[in-house]
Chain A
């Protein structure tokens, strides 16, 4: 019985990054900056964490590109959904 063959990622290294990014998120919400700045920082941090989990824990970094495209397909749907609803989000 075989599984994907590749060098084992540094799982503990990824864990410390995820922990650091989570602590950073908790710190960001108390930063004395504009709300949109906080929102942008939180989105960047959350997406960074999600990418780390997908690339290293789910081994997407070591898979074929096509599998990565399958994994990305839901985000395309989300972008379409937002675009389709833009007239309702900003009616004027």
Chain B
């Protein structure tokens, strides 16, 4: 009988964890997301406490505007649907459909980043100076850029990750379980934006 270490060296996966029997990678992703959620959780709680303690916090919707970010929220929700449809397609062996939906997911992420770049530029050059606000000078602008910037970096990472998965599946190196793991990350990014949209823009 081949030992676990020998099996690993021979390129055979060892016995899987019963928690996620289909893949070690899935458990790894969940553990990573739990850690990442703690980072976002601390940032959002910190934001709430600073805002509560501040006596002159502007009304966010009046300064930031919500039309563009409402569209961005819609975009991330739609891209999450495309992601699950791409997983459903690859599980059924429909490769063309998988490529279409994962391609759309990537496109959705890129449009989201484009919208965020436009929003930041508009805020930095026009809106915030008008309200005498700036990053590093007051808590409103600083917490806004830290939170949305941290999330934007996650979207950027997700787009790159999805592109890598699309290429690896096309080359036959990745399969459905890898798409499922990438999907977990993408849905997490969507989930966090849902909270940021509410707490930073609407409340």
Contacts and interface: CB of A to CB of B under 8 A. Distances in A.
Contact of A49 (B35, B78, B180, B194): B194
Interface residues of B, number: 53
A74 B73 contact: no
A49 B74 CA distance: 12
Interface string B18-62: 111011000100110111011011101100010011000000010
Interface in B133-188: 175-177, 180, 183-184, 187-188
Contacts of B199: 46
- Residue of A12, A14, A81 with highest tally of chain B CB at under 10 A: A81
A57 B74 contact: no
B81 A43 contact: no
A66 B42 contact: no
A18 B77 CA distance: 8
A89 B54 CA distance: 11
A88 B187 contact: no
A11 to B, nearest CB: 5
Contact of B176 (A3, A58, A70): A3
A80 B126 CA distance: 39
B45 A11 contact: no
Contacts of B85: 11
20 contacts: A1-B175, A2-B22, A3-B22, A3-B180, A15-B77, A18-B77, A19-B74, A19-B77, A26-B66, A42-B203, A49-B194, A57-B183, A58-B188, A63-B20, A67-B19, A67-B20, A71-B33, A75-B41, A78-B38, A81-B41
Interface of B: 18-20, 22-23, 27, 30-31, 33-35, 37-38, 40-42, 44-45, 49, 52-53, 61, 66, 70, 73-74, 77-78, 80-81, 83-85, 87-88, 91, 175-177, 180, 183-184, 187-188, 190-191, 194-195, 197-199, 202-203
- Of all A-B residue pairs in the complex, the 7 with the closest CB atoms, nearest first, are A74-B37, A46-B198, A1-B175, A78-B41, A57-B187, A74-B38, A53-B191
